[in-house]
Amino acid sequence: MDYRPLPRAPVWFLRALAIPQTDIEVRVDGCTIHALACGMPGARGLVFVHGGGAHAHWWTHVAASFSQDFRVISLDLSGHGDSGHRSRYSLEQWTEEVMAVATAGQIDGPPVVIGHSMGGFVTIATAARHADLVSGAIVCDSPVTEPDPEIGAYRLREAFGRPRIYASVEEAVKHFRTVPAQEHYLDYVIDHVARRSVRSVPDGWQWKFDREVFAQFGGGLRGVALPYLSRVRCRLALLRSEHGLVTADIGRSMYDELGRVTPVIEIPEAGHHAMLDQPLILLTALRTLLADWDHSEPRRRESG
């Protein structure tokens, strides 16, 4: 699909979208997994993981900005974006997809994995299950101690429910909504994300995600993600949005569960989807963490 940013989009956003990206496809247990790659092959790597119902392009305007220093991979988890759909989904299967695209993306050494919302749960599980293959993990507003918003919305039939076909891309974009909703968005970012969220079908245009993801996780991902939290041994940081889902209390709970050695950093003025309303602050937080990790030794949990 040809894409033209809104005329009022700022230079930094246009510059990020202009960075060349290549498509990667790998087969993971019979399903084709799609990812976007930029930066020099053979460089140290970052792998970006989107939230529920989202896709790789939610991260593009943030992730591509790292391409001068890293090999950057943003994937579509199965059931999302341009990846294939499965008859059954699992958190563990998604972690295998993350590692498969990291390998296919020609990253040098263990990457840092960065995940938002549901993708944060995937990131935590990936770091726990593939401890020797992940150098660090950054989780963006993923409330491990609370039900995830995408699943709750499905249960209430507020979103991700009845499939709908739109006559045009323009009509679909007008109906684009996030779950949960938030007070502020950057219109040029929303326009980009929404237009990458639809696929052509015989009678028009339809959202790309598979609704079965939310049907199958009717009990939420909290129950399957929580056991992995205390098993993470690599560097890990939690970015919580000021107006997001990870409250101060939840942040403290996760901090305790992680042995009181993990930084919990607030993104000011951000809603749950910080890349949609405060991407430059989010980008700065990520850059700061990665720079610090390059020049410091991690604190270790106390035994027992």
- Other CB atoms within 10 Å distance of the CB of residue 140: 31
Residue 105 domain-assigned?
yes
Question: What's the confidence (pLDDT) of residue 96?
Answer: 98
The answer to whether residue 2 sits within a structural domain is no
Residue 257 lies in a domain: yes
Residue 196 in any domain: the answer is yes
Band (pLDDT 50/70/90 cuts) for residue 219 is low
- pLDDT band at residue 214 under the 50/70/90 scheme: confident
Answer yes or no: is 172 within a domain: yes
Out of 7-21, 49-63, 251-265, 276-290, pick the least confident.
251-265
The model's pTM: 0.95
Report if residue 109 sits inside a domain: yes
Look at residue 110 and tell me if it is in a domain: yes
Check whether 98 has a pLDDT greater than 80.
yes
Average pLDDT of the residues in 66-91: 97
SS (H, E, C) the chain: CCCCCCCCCCHHHHHHHHCCCEEEEEEECCEEEEEEEECCCCCCEEEEECCCCCCHHHCHHHHHHHCCCCEEEEECCCCCCCCCCCCCCCHHHHHHHHHHHHHHCCCCCCCEEEEECHHHHHHHHHHHHCHHHCCEEEEECCCCCCCCHHHHHHHCCCCCCCCCCECCHHHHHHCCCCCCCCCCCCHHHHHHHHHCCEEEECCEEEECCCCHHHHHCCCCCHHHHHHHHCCCCCEEEEEEEEECCCCHHHHHHHHHHCCCCCCEEEEEEEECCHHHHCHHHHHHHHHHHHHHHHCCCCCCCCCC
Confidence of residue 225 (pLDDT cuts 50, 70, 90): confident
Average confidence score pLDDT of the chain: 92
Lookup result for tokens 């995600």: 209
CA distance 126 to 110: 12
Per-residue pLDDT band for 50 (boundaries 50, 70, 90) equals very high
With a cut of 80, say whether residue 120 has pLDDT above it. Answer: yes
**Where residue 232 sits, what CATH number does that domain have?**
3.40.50.1820
Distance CA 248, CA 191 (A): 31
Span 149-195, pLDDT tens digits: 666 665 545 566 677 899 999 999 999 999 899 999 999 999 999 99
Mean pLDDT of 61-86: 98
Domain span at residue 153? 22-290
**Residue 58: how many CB atoms within 10 A of its CB?**
29
pLDDT above 70 covers what percent of the chain? 91
Cα–Cα distance measured from residue 275 to residue 253, given in angstroms and rounded to the nearest whole number: 24
Do 229 and 125 touch, CB atoms closer than 8 A?
Answer: no
Pairwise CA distance, residues 271 & 219, whole Å:
24
Q: What is the pLDDT of residues 2-34, one digit of tens each?
A: 789 999 999 999 999 999 999 999 999 999 999
Report yes or no on 228 lying in a domain: yes
Segment 34-47, tens digit of pLDDT = 999 999 999 999 99
If one counts the domains in the chain, the total is 1
Proportion of the chain above pLDDT 90, given as a percent: 77
- 226-261 pLDDT, tens digit per residue, is 889 989 999 999 999 999 999 889 888 888 888 888
Lowest mean pLDDT among 54-68, 89-103, 205-219, 241-255: 205-219
Using pLDDT thresholds of 50, 70 and 90, give the confidence band for residue 304.
very low
CA distances from 126 to 110, 138, 250, 262 (A): 12, 11, 21, 17
